[in-house]
Copies of this chain bind each other. A is one copy, B any other.
Amino acid sequence: MHKGRLEAFSDGVLAIIITIMVLELRAPPEADIAALRPLLPVFLSYILSFVYVGIYWNNHHHMLQAADRITGRVLWANLHLLFWLSLFPFVTAWMGENHFQAAPTALYGGVLLMAALAYYILQATIIACHGRDSILARAIGRDLKGKLSPMLYLTAIGCAFIHVAVAQVLYTAVALIWLVPDRRIERVLAERAAPREP
The complex places the Cα of A35 from the Cα of B104 at a distance, in Å, of: 10
Of A11-19, A114-122, A128-136, A147-155, the segment with at least 4 beta carbons within 8 Å of chain B is A11-19
Note all chain B residues with C-beta closer than 8 A to A11: 5, 8-9, 12
Q: Is the contact region of chain A dominated by helix, strand, or loop, or is it mixed?
A: helix
- CB-CB contacts of A167-187 with B at 8 A, as 1s and 0s? 000000000000101110010
Q: Which residues in window 37-64 of A have CB below 8 A to B?
A: 47, 50, 54, 57-58, 61
Tell me the chain A residues, 16-41 only, with Cβ under 8 Å from chain B.
Answer: 16-20, 22-25, 27-33, 35-36
Contact partner, A79, options B12, B27, B30, B54, Cβ 8 Å: B54
User: Does A97 lie within 8 Å of B186, measured CB to CB?
Assistant: no
CB distance from A72 to the nearest CB of B (A): 3
Instruction: Say whether B17 contacts A19, CB under 8 Å.
Output: yes
Separation in Å of the A53 CB from the closest CB of chain B?
9
